[in-house]
Chain A
């Protein structure tokens, strides 16, 4: 038996090439992060608009959504062109696939922020129903999830991505609680129904933003490990324990 000794790293050092594709992929990543910044701002503004009953701030969210929509189209076109021109494979291909999906997720989040802003406007025009406690709490968790999911994308951090997915249960639980509480208001006095419904829908929008953040994390795990975990998040612990 002949033993072949060689150093892979040593051989590769001189051979690794800077590719034009890398520049294109980097620009996709930068655009996605720029878009994510706009989405984070929109969500933040829409939450503040509810808390402060601020119609102007809500209007800003609605106006700025066009910018997010335009970025979605641009990023999608760029990904499409890269697929056609470079036919990327392996990690490059997984990055493009994940980017296309994250792009979509971010745009949906922008729409949810607009929904929240619209509710904020109609709520601001009516007297306050109750002091808001659970919805701002939900918003804090959701904004944290979005931030962490974006960080996990930037750093390819699978561990962080998994942690975000776990937080989704807290948001779901809070949404149920908000829903239950608002039902009592509605039963108490039918004049409350309209405002209570608006608040329920705001909670629903926040819950959807949390879901979309976990989608981003699932795509990060796919991008890094090449494994699909969505729709099986209950197996998450088992799988990560085995490895």
Chain B
């Protein structure tokens, strides 16, 4: 346990430094909070986008996540990798409290989003999910028009003027690299789009409410290589504006798109470091064996 834990602290110091640099360099993005819609987003730019402290999570009997302490820096891509059942998706879902409704689930420890404890009793979970959006493995557009899919989030957050909504829809679709493909058929059903387009639509829907963090749970695993490559390019574009956390089974994908990589194993954080280092010179034998395909 001790040797496993060592690099985490080293990394924490490194990330602290990085997060600081990041917040000084990047100016704060005016989001929905500026319009008074979000009640929580008194965001502290000095804080890491996400931070877990001695986080434990269980679906019932055993801990699925064991004592994870890590910091996700702002406007960078952080990848979680690890064998099936290692807890990477569970941890991702903890970040916007998607596990709340599971009967018997329990947790221990803290998770902070830019300094706010997201498991605070008084926290508005809907507001949290606006700040921390999620894109799932399987694209799940609403059975509505392309326009409505993107406009839905901003509309329920109180934006009513059609001019404002049009602007948000166009901006979001452009950011999701989908605008050129759908601009002439915004009123057709979203279900008529290809798998890759549907996934980009889901990303557009997520960023329409200007979240601080976009969580992605294996966003490419149901897509063909071309569509995957488009999503990967998109991730690299999106990190200019958003903090991205991605769970992936595809290690080459993690190597290509992420700035930091966390290797999880049996619910524990084995190693968390810059992606370049993880894939060229990992410190832990467990990481080495997993990324070079010796087990998993």
Contact = CB atoms under 8 A, between A and B. Distances in A.
Contacts of A2: 56, 63, 66-67
Interface of A: 1-6, 8, 11-12, 15-17, 19, 21, 87-94, 226
Given A2-B56, A89-B255, A16 B294 contact: yes
30 contacts: A1-B54, A2-B66, A3-B1, A4-B1, A4-B66, A4-B268, A8-B285, A8-B286, A11-B266, A12-B289, A15-B295, A15-B296, A16-B295, A17-B293, A17-B295, A19-B293, A19-B294, A21-B292, A21-B293, A89-B255, A89-B279, A90-B282, A90-B288, A90-B292, A91-B292, A93-B279, A93-B280, A94-B280, A94-B281, A226-B280
Chain B interface secondary structure, helix, strand, loop or mixed? Answer: mixed
B291 interface: yes
Nearest to A18: B294
Contacts of A94: 280-281
Contact of A92 (B251, B252, B266, B292): B292
Contact of B294 (A1, A5, A8, A17): A17
B292 A12 contact: no
B291 A90 contact: yes
Contacts of B293: 17, 19, 21
Question: Which size bracket describes the interface of B in this complex?
Answer: 20 to 34
A4 B294 contact: no
Contacts of A5: 1
Interface string B239-266: 0000000000001100100000000001
A87 B293 CA distance: 11
Interface of B: 1, 4, 54, 56, 63, 66-67, 251-252, 255, 266, 268, 279-282, 285-289, 291-296
Given A16-B294, A17-B293, A90 B286 contact: no
Interface centre among A21, A89, A92, A226 (most CB of B within 10 A): A89
A96 B283 CA distance: 19
B72 to A, nearest CB: 23
A22 to B, nearest CB: 9
A89 B54 CA distance: 30
B256 to A, nearest CB: 10
A102 B272 CA distance: 32
A16 B289 contact: yes
Nearest to B268: A4
Contacts of B279: 89-90, 93
Contacts of B287: 90
B292 A89 contact: yes
